[in-house]
Amino acid sequence: MVIFKNYVQFILTDMLKKSMESQKEKSLFEQHLFICTRCQYIDSEGRKCGEEVAPAFRKEVKKLVKEKFPHKKVRVNASGCLGQCEQGISAVLYPEAHWELDLRPGDEDRLISLIK
């Protein structure tokens, strides 16, 4: 009976281990960058940027991440409002929970430099 119990325990432990390894492999991304594509900011001349600026910024960051880190599992997602609307384009990187605010076109490298 003890042998059978140990055998079942071994099998279940092995299955759990394999399942966890599989989940880890499936845990798709090492880092996940969310960029708000709804942000609009006022430029230094008092003009409000167009609605297309933040989505274009995200698209450029995504392209650069793919170019610079072709084998890294990094996802660059568009997000809705991140609650930091008054400060240019907002972004947050996970799992670090690192925020970058007041982003503008030309600041792509600020985000790219966070990718490790």
Q: Please tell me whether residue 64 binds ligand FES under the rule CB under 6 A.
A: no
3-state SS, one letter per residue, for 45-93: CCCECCCCHHHHHHHHHHHHHHHHCCCCCEEEEEECCCCCCCCCEEEEE
Residues 24-53 within binding reach of ligand FES (CB under 6 A): 36, 38-39
R_g of the chain, CA atoms, integer Å:
21
One residue of 53, 76, 90, 111 binding ligand FES per CB under 6 A: 90
Nearer to ligand FES, 74 or 103 (CB): 103
Contact 91, 103 (CB under 8 A): yes
One residue of 32, 64, 78, 84 binding ligand FES per CB under 6 A: 84
Q: Which residues bind ligand FES (CB under 6 A)?
A: 36, 38-39, 81-85, 90
